[in-house]
C-alpha cells in the first residue's frame, strides 16, 4: 500500500513539474527607447535602456517626448507613448504559444501589436482603471485619460478609448460586464467613467485623447 501511494505521489509530482515547465512567464526586452523612460523592477527604479529585460510585475514609465517599445518572446510588442505608464501584470507562454497576457495601462497611450493565437479564446488583455480590451491577436491602441472631459460625456473626467488598426477587440467596463462591445478594424470606442463602451465609430471621430495618437 505504501509503495502504491508513493508511486502515485511521484507521478503527480512529475505531472505538476511538467506542467510548470510547459507554462513559463514570458519575459520581454526594450527594443526601442527614445527619450527618458524608467523601469520599476523589484522595488528599484532603473533607467530604461535598449536590450534591458522586462519581467512580469515590472512597471514602465515614460516622460514627456519619450517613447519605448517592448517585444516579448511570442513576438508581441508594446509601444508606450509619452507621459504614460503601464505594468506587465501577467505574461505566460507554453512552448512558443502565448496562454495569457495582461497589461495594465495606468495613464497615457499604448499601442499593442499582438501575435495571433489561432483557435483560442482572447488571451491578451489591456486593462485600464475603467476598461478591459481583450484580443486573440491584432493591432490596437488604448488610451486612458484622467483630468480632461470625455468627448462622449463632458461631465466625466476619466475615460478610456480603444482604436483598432487590424483585427477586432472586445471592450468592456468592469462596472458594466454584461455590455461588451466588439470593435472591428478601422473603428474605435470610448468608455466614460462607469458607463458601458460606446457603439464603435470610425477612427478619428473623437480622437484617442492622448498625445501622439494620430
Q: Rounded mean pLDDT of 125-150?
A: 95
* pTM recorded for the entire structure: 0.84
Domains of the chain in start order, with CATH, are: 23-202 (2.60.120.1440)
The span from the CA of 197 to the CA of 182, in Å, is 9
How many helices (DSSP H) and strands (DSSP E) are in the chain?
A: 1, 18
Range of weakest confidence among 20-29, 128-137, 195-204: 20-29
pLDDT at position 8, please? Answer: 37
Whole-number pLDDT of residue 177: 75
Q: Tell me the pLDDT tens digit for each residue of 194-210.
A: 999 999 999 985 544 44
Write out pLDDT tens, residues 151-197: 999 999 999 999 999 999 999 999 887 789 999 999 999 999 999 99
45-54 own/partner pairs: CB under 8 Å, 24+ apart:
53/27, 53/28, 53/29, 54/27, 54/28, 54/29, 54/30, 54/88
pLDDT of 121: 75
Residue 95 in grid coordinates: 512552448
Amino acid at each position: 500500500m505504501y509503495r502504491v501511494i508513493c508511486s502515485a505521489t511521484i507521478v503527480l509530482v512529475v505531472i505538476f513539474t511538467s506542467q510548470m515547465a510547459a507554462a513559463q512567464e514570458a519575459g520581454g526586452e526594450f527594443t526601442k527607447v527614445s527619450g527618458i523612460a524608467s523601469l520599476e523592477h523589484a522595488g528599484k527604479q532603473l533607467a530604461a535602456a535598449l536590450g534591458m529585460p522586462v519581467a512580469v510585475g515590472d512597471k514602465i514609465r515614460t516622460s514627456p517626448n519619450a517613447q519605448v517599445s517592448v517585444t516579448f518572446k511570442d513576438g508581441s510588442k508594446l509601444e508606450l507613448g509619452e507621459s504614460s505608464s503601464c505594468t506587465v501584470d501577467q505574461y505566460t507562454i507554453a512552448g512558443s504559444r502565448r496562454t495569457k497576457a495582461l497589461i495594465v495601462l495606468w495613464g497615457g497611450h499604448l499601442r499593442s501589436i499582438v501575435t495571433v493565437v489561432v483557435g483560442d479564446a482572447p488571451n491578451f488583455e489591456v486593462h485600464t482603471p475603467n476598461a478591459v480590451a481583450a484580443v486573440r491577436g491584432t493591432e490596437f491602441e488604448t488610451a486612458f485619460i484622467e483630468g480632461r472631459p470625455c468627448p462622449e460625456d463632458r461631465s466625466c473626467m476619466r475615460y478610456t478609448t480603444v482604436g483598432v488598426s487590424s483585427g477586432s477587440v472586445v471592450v468592456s467596463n468592469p462596472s458594466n460586464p454584461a455590455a461588451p462591445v466588439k470593435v472591428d478594424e478601422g473603428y474605435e470606442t470610448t468608455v466614460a467613467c462607469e458607463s458601458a463602451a460606446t457603439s464603435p465609430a470610425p477612427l478619428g471621430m473623437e480622437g484617442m485623447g492622448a498625445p501622439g495618437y494620430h
